[in-house]
Structure 1
Amino acid sequence: MNLEIKSTENVEYMIEQIKEKLKVLNFGAIKPTHFDEEMYVELKEIYEHIMKRDSFSPNEMQALAEELGNLRKK
């Protein structure tokens, strides 16, 4: 998968990977349809940051949730 290409499929892939890595329990809270390609670069940066790490503190989880919330479609 080439994440350098902005596409709906890549947005969906990154969101699903983020949810899995962060073990999001409320799967309805984060949906690929909440994001669009305008925020692709920012979403990709968050995705890459999350994928590099093995664990997150509660404060980091909160900060990541807030960042994802900021990227949601208005």
Structure 2
Amino acid sequence: MDLNEKSQANVEYMIESIKSKLRMASAAAMQASAFSVNHYDDIRDLYDMVIGKDNLSISEVEAVVSELGRLRG
């Protein structure tokens, strides 16, 4: 998948990957389709950070979830 292309499909892929990596309990409530390509660069930055880490601390997970909430819609 070429994440350099700013598309809705790539946004949804990155959100799903982040949710999977975080093992979010509330993942079902956070639909990837609710994220706009208008926030692509921010989502890509978040994706790169999350996927690049082997483990995330509780505070990092909380920060990511908070940021996802800000970017939704």
TM-score, scaled to structure 2 = 0.92
The separation in 2 between residues aligned to 1:70 and 1:62, in whole angstroms, is 12
Instruction: Give the fraction of aligned pairs with identical amino acids, expressed as a percent.
Output: 38
The match for 2:44 is 44
CA distance in 1, matches of 2:27, 2:67: 17
**How much has 1:60 moved relative to structure 2?**
0.9
Inter-partner Cα distance in structure 2 for 1:20 and 1:33: 15
- CA distance in structure 1 between the aligned counterparts of 2:16 and 2:72, rounded to whole angstroms: 15
Q: Secondary structure at the match of 1:10?
A: helix
Instruction: Give the Cα–Cα distance (whole angstroms) in 2 for the partners of residues 53 and 29 of structure 1.
Output: 24
Distance in 2, Cα, partners of 1:67 & 1:27: 14
Deviation at 1:29, TM superposition (A): 2.5
The TM-score normalised by the length of structure 1 is 0.91
Task: Specify the alignment match of 2:9 in structure 1.
Answer: 9
Consecutive unaligned residues of structure 2, counting only runs of 5 or more, are none
